[in-house]
Amino acid sequence: MKQFLTPDALWPYQENAQWKLHATSPVPGVDLFDYRVELMAKQVRVLFGRVPERLEDFVYASQSSQAEAMKFFIEMFRSQKWRRTGIIWWNILDGWPQFSDAVVDYYFRKKRAYHAIRRSQSPICLILREPEDGIQEVVACNDTRDEVELTFEVQDIHSGEVLLTGAERAAADSVTVLGAIQHDDELQRMPRLRWCGQTTAGWNYYLSGKPPFDLEWYRDAMTRLEDAQAATD
């Protein structure tokens, strides 16, 4: 943002002519999408209950909102193979410096959504399906042509409680149900899924409970996830 906005136009976003310009087409009067600025703020309000007062927090919250949305749709579709067998998403890269839903900006910097998508689309990925009647199935999405033996664990990232553990075979080119955990809409928590096999290892998570989520709670959970993963690498 500091590369395409003047210093005095960085913040706040409301009634900001430069924000509006860079949320639209580079050709004035063509393809006006300046509603995207307030739409971005609205999406932050939905997920986190408020719009942060600091620009740095708004950047984190808006990128997290995008990442969670794309992660949700990709994993929902993957977990329902063969009922649903593909999803097309865009856009990948911005064509000029702007506010957009691209996952890589004009300067080739990867947004949070890029890393979420890469993890959710890994050839073998453990996913928590959407809850039904207070139960969430844990499934192994295996898009490879080989059956894979996995050991896995589902753990609450804050309390450390192990919610599910086991060893199963993930069928080739299929979705395999590994087990299930209890779900409570009123309980906000972040289960972490970890797995390893002879040719694969990875991690994922699920944002559980009804929004809005406290932004600092969410940031702390993500930091714990990333720190825990870094410790095992």
Q: What is the CATH number of the domain that holds 174?
A: 2.60.40.10
137 and 219 assigned to the same domain: yes
76 and 38 assigned to the same domain: yes
pLDDT tens across 24-43, in order? 766 666 666 678 889 999 99
Q: Which of 99, 121, 143 is the last residue of a domain?
A: 121
Q: What is the pLDDT of residue 26?
A: 64
Closest CA to 111 of 136, 94, 130: 94
Q: Which of 75, 102, 121 is the last residue of a domain?
A: 121
108 and 10 assigned to the same domain: yes
113 and 133 assigned to the same domain: no
Mean pLDDT, residues 38-56: 96
User: Side-chain half-sphere of 35: how many Cα atoms within 13 Å?
Assistant: 3
Q: Which of 89, 121, 153 is the last residue of a domain?
A: 121
Mean pLDDT, residues 145-164: 96
The domain in which residue 177 lies consists of: 123-233
180 and 168 assigned to the same domain: yes
Amino acid at 140: A
Residue 231, pLDDT > 80, answer no
42 and 66 assigned to the same domain: yes
Distance spanning both ends of the chain, measured CA to CA? 33
66 and 164 assigned to the same domain: no
41 and 90 assigned to the same domain: yes
Percentage of the residues of the chain whose pLDDT score is greater than 70: 95
Q: What is the pLDDT of residue 211?
A: 96
103 and 185 assigned to the same domain: no
- The predicted model scores a pTM of 0.92
102 and 6 assigned to the same domain: yes
**Mean model confidence pLDDT for the chain:** 93
41 and 64 assigned to the same domain: yes
Q: What is the pLDDT of residue 232?
A: 66
83 and 129 assigned to the same domain: no
Spacing of C-alpha 43 from chain mean position:
14
Q: What's phi and psi for 5, nearest 5 deg? A: -120, 150
Domains of the chain: total: 2
Q: What is the pLDDT of residue 123?
A: 95
| Cα separation, 144 vs 185, whole angstroms | 33
